[in-house]
Amino acid sequence: MNDIVRGADPQLQVDVRVDKPVLRIGREALRMKVRSSQPGYVYIYTGGTDKSHFYLLFPNRIDRDNRIKAGADLALPRPSWNITAGGPTGVNQIVVLVSRSRRDVSAAGMASSRGEIPEFDLQQAAQRWSRREPGAVSPFIGSAECRVETAKSDCPQGYGATMVEVTEVAPR
């Protein structure tokens, strides 16, 4: 996930504030505010504390409206969905990406459509990672989607990204 942040355009600033950097498993939910220096589309990735999963938390099957306005806070998750700390104990690395264009992540190795939160197939993800060209952007961010009538040179590929950490601890 560090490669996503390293590939970001420094001109597109992304700020994330989590309400609680430490969450009790089974009791507390992740809440954050995202702010971008430019308008775009928000994508949130996490590997989970067990490091055996890789999720696209947002957009998801419940909430697909991932637009963000420049300079305005976007509070996530929205009331229609929730992400409660599920364990095991450890640190979640969460990457928040804001793209100037919508992105198509369907070719990035998403697992079957079970559940509300899309998950990447780790075996396919490892294969895609090993086949990428040196210096290429992460295969997990997908490609910018632009209208057919837009020339490829006019299709904004850039994105901004940042990483935050949230620790999950045992309930008291």
Beta carbons of 45 and 55 less than 8 angstroms apart: yes
110 contacts: CB under 8 Å, gap ≥ 6: 56, 118, 119, 120, 121
Q: How far is 170 from 172, CA to CA, in rounded Å? A: 6
- Give residue 53's Cα distance to chain centre: 13
Given the structure tokens 């998801």, which residue do they identify?
60
pLDDT recorded at residue 101: 92
pLDDT recorded at residue 151: 55
pLDDT recorded at residue 106: 77
Beta strands 159-169 and 22-24: pairing type?
Answer: parallel
pLDDT recorded at residue 91: 95
Report cis status (omega within 30 of 0) of the bond before 88: yes
pLDDT recorded at residue 112: 56
pLDDT recorded at residue 47: 86
User: Could you tell me the sign of the dihedral formed by the alpha carbons of 85, 160, 76, 144, in that order?
Assistant: negative
- Give residue 38's Cα distance to chain centre: 17
pTM for the full model?
0.90
Structure tokens at 109: 């190795």
> Which of 14, 4, 10 has its CA nearest to residue 37?
14
Q: Which positions of the chain have pLDDT values less than 50?
A: none
Backbone angles phi, psi at 154, to 5 degrees: -95, 0
Set out the domains of the chain in order of their start, with CATH numbers: 2-169 (2.60.40.2550)
Please, how many CA atoms are within 13 Å of residue 82, restricted to the half-sphere of its CB? 8
Beta strands 143-144 and 67-68: pairing type?
Answer: unpaired
